[in-house]
Amino acid sequence: MQALVAPMISALAGPVAAGTAATTAATALQMGAAVAGGVGAMADAKGQAEAAKVNAFIGRTRAMQTDVSARQGLDSELATIRATLGANGQRPGVGTAAVMDTLRSVRARDRRIEFGNQMQLSADYRTQGRNAGRLGGYALAGGLLKAGPSLFDLYELRKG
């Protein structure tokens, strides 16, 4: 971007009368500030988008990790129950089976909820990243747009 602005200023300033040097410089600075502001905003948004992308990926990973961890916890709980029952000599019967089923279903529900939450978070980050990227583009366009009047003034000045 810097490579684009400098020649523009010099090209415009050249033929403009020396008498309007301050005006030319001021106008050129005003235009440069607008362009540079746009470019800066765009770069900032890009950074935001990248961070959001990373977080979206992390969120997904965390969701999976939560699911795995929940499954492992259920297995260990069921094993504990079975061991306890066995230790008590109780024979798995219908009753025990029902408890274990209930446990299973409760734990599966909790696990799905937790997984879904983590996935949702990941999706939010992904959206946030996309938004930031889009925002960056608009910021650049906005900066260029803001430089427009100054560019017109320079043109006018050049015409004299």
Partner 1 sequence: MAEIKKIIPNAPLSNFRQAAPDAGGAFRFLAGAMEEGYKFLAPAAEAEMKVHGEALGSEIARQQIGNPSAEITASSMGADGFNASLAQTESGGNYQAQNSEGYVGKYQWGAARLADFNKANGTSITMEQFKASGPIQEQAQKWHIANIDKSVGDLVGKVVSGVTMTKNALRAMAHLGGIGGARKFVESGGTYNPQDSNGTSLLDYAVTHGGTETTASSSSGPYAPPTMLRDADGKLTARLYSPLAGPLLQVSNAAAGVAYQSDVMLKGMADMMDISNQFALNPDGFRQAATSYVDDLVKAAPDMFKGDIRAGIEKVVEQRFLGMVEERQSDIRQRAANSSGALADRWSDTLAQAVATGNPDAIASAQAELSSVLRARETLPGLSWTAEQSQNMIIKAHQEGERIAEKAKTDRGNKMKADLSLISDAAQAGRTSDTEALLQDPEAQALFPDQWREAAASVMLRDEMPSFMKMTPAEQQQALVDMKAQPVSADWEMDLYGAAEKAATANAAAWEADPIKHAGEVLTEKPPALPTVEEAMNQPGSITEALAARVAYAETLKAKGYVDFTSVFTDDEAKTYGALFGKETPPEVKAALAGAVVAGAGKDAARVFKELKSDDPVTLRAGMLMARTGDSVVPVMAMNGQAMLDQGIVQPPQKATTVGAVSPAIASALGVLPNAEAVMGDTLKLATAIYAYSSSPNATDTTSEKERMDSALQLALGQSTNKRGELTGGVQTVGAGSVLLPVGMSGEKLNSALETAFSGMKQGTGLSVGMDGFAPTVSLNLGASQSPDAAKIWTDAGAGSAPMLGGEPLKAEHFKRAVLTPLGGNMYSLSLNVNGQMVDVGTATGAPFIFDAAKLIAHANGGVASTVSPLAHPGQSDGPVQSAITQYPILRDLGLQVKSSIGASDAVIEFWPPGETGDKSYPRPSELGANKPGIEIYSNKARPIDILGDVVSHYLVNTDKKISGYYSDFQKSLTSDQHKTLQEQYKYAQENNGENRPYSEWLKTSGIPAYFRGYAFDQWQNPKELYTKEQIAMFDEMMIYLKSAKSTGKK
- Using CB under 8 A as the criterion, which residues of the chain lie in contact with partner 1 when the complex forms? 1-2, 14-23, 25-27, 29-30, 32-37, 39-44, 46-48, 50-52, 54-55, 58-59, 61-62, 65-66, 69, 73, 76-77, 80-81, 99, 103, 125, 132, 143, 149-150, 152-153, 156-157, 159-160
What minimum distance in Å lies between the beta carbon of 119 and partner 1? 13
What minimum distance in Å lies between the beta carbon of 107 and partner 1? 8
Residue 152, both tokens: 């017109």
Nearer of residues 8 and 77 to partner 1, judged by Cβ: 77
Nearer of residues 112 and 152 to partner 1, judged by Cβ: 152
Q: Ramachandran region of residue 89, left (φ > 0), alpha (ψ -120 to 50) or beta? A: left
What minimum distance in Å lies between the beta carbon of 8 and partner 1? 13
